[in-house]
Amino acid sequence: MALMTGEQFIESIRKMNMQIYMFGEKVENPVDNPILRPSLNSVRATYDLAQMPEYEDLMTVKSSITGEKINRFCHIHQSTEDLIKKVKMQRLLGQKTASCFQRCVGMDAFNAEFSTTYEIDKAHGTKYHENFVNYMKFVQENDMTVDGAMTDPKGDRALSPSKQADPDLYLRVVERRPDGVVVRGAKAHQTGICNSQEVIVMPTIALSPEDKDYAISFAVPVDAEGILMIIGRQSCDTRKLEGSQLDVGNSQYGGVEALVVFNDVFVPNDRIFLNGETEFAGMLVERFAGYHRQSYGGCKVGVGDVLIGAAALAADYNGAQKASHVKDKLIEMTHLNETLYSSGIACSAEGSKTESGNYIIDLLLANVCKQNVTRFPYEIARLAEDIAGGLMVTAPSEKDLKDPVVGPYVEKYLKGVNAVSVENRLRILRLIENLTLGTAAVGYRTESMHGAGSPQAQRIMIARQGNINGKKELAKAIAQITE
Span 122-145, pLDDT tens digits: 999 999 999 999 999 999 999 999
Span between the terminal Cα atoms of the chain, in Å: 65
User: Beta-carbon neighbour count of residue 428 at 10 Å?
Assistant: 23
The residues near 15 (Cβ < 8 Å, ≥ 6 apart) are none
Catalytic choice (236, 299, 347, 369): 299
The pLDDT tens digits for 444-454 are 999 999 999 99
Catalytic choice (77, 97, 104, 170): 104
Catalytic choice (75, 129, 189, 292): 292
Among residues 300, 318, 317, 214, which one has the least CA distance to residue 262? 214
Please state the rounded mean pLDDT for residues 419-430.
98
Catalytic choice (113, 119, 198, 257): 257
| H or E element in which residue 218 lies | strand 216-221
Catalytic choice (116, 191, 374, 439): 191
Structure confidence at residue 11 (pLDDT): 98
Distance of CA 157 to the CA centre of its chain: 24
Q: Known catalytic residue: 198?
A: no
Structure confidence at residue 72 (pLDDT): 98
How is residue 194 annotated by DSSP? G
Q: Report whether 238 contacts 83 (CB < 8 A).
A: no
- Give me the percent of the chain exceeding a pLDDT of 90: 99
Distance of CA 128 to the CA centre of its chain: 26
Residue 430 pLDDT grade (very low, low, confident, very high; cuts 50, 70, 90):
very high
103/50 Cα distance (integer angstroms):
13
Structure confidence at residue 2 (pLDDT): 82
Please state the rounded mean pLDDT for residues 147-159.
98
pLDDT at 1 over 70: no
How is residue 96 annotated by DSSP? H
- When computed from its CA atoms, the radius of gyration of the chain, rounded to whole angstroms, is 24
Q: Known catalytic residue: 104?
A: yes
Catalytic choice (198, 277, 433, 447): 447
Catalytic choice (46, 97, 100, 117): 100
Q: Known catalytic residue: 296?
A: yes
Q: Known catalytic residue: 447?
A: yes
pLDDT at 358 over 90: yes
The pLDDT tens digits for 70-106 are 999 999 999 999 999 999 999 999 999 999 999 999 9
Coil, helix or strand at residue 157:
coil
The residues near 442 (Cβ < 8 Å, ≥ 6 apart) are 100, 234, 235, 255, 257
443/253 Cα distance (integer angstroms):
12
Mean pLDDT computed over every residue of the chain: 98
Residue 61 — left, alpha, or beta (φ > 0 → left; ψ -120 to 50 → alpha)? beta
Catalytic choice (128, 135, 253, 296): 296
Q: Known catalytic residue: 299?
A: yes
Residue 23 — left, alpha, or beta (φ > 0 → left; ψ -120 to 50 → alpha)? left
Q: Report whether 100 contacts 257 (CB < 8 A).
A: no
Which one-letter amino acid corresponds to residue 132?
A: F
The pLDDT tens digits for 177-192 are 999 999 999 999 999 9
pLDDT at 165 over 90: yes
Q: Known catalytic residue: 257?
A: yes
Which one-letter amino acid corresponds to residue 71?
A: N
Return the bridge partners of 206, or none: none
User: Beta-carbon neighbour count of residue 352 at 10 Å?
Assistant: 11
Q: Report whether 270 contacts 131 (CB < 8 A).
A: yes
The pLDDT tens digits for 211-227 are 999 999 999 999 999 99
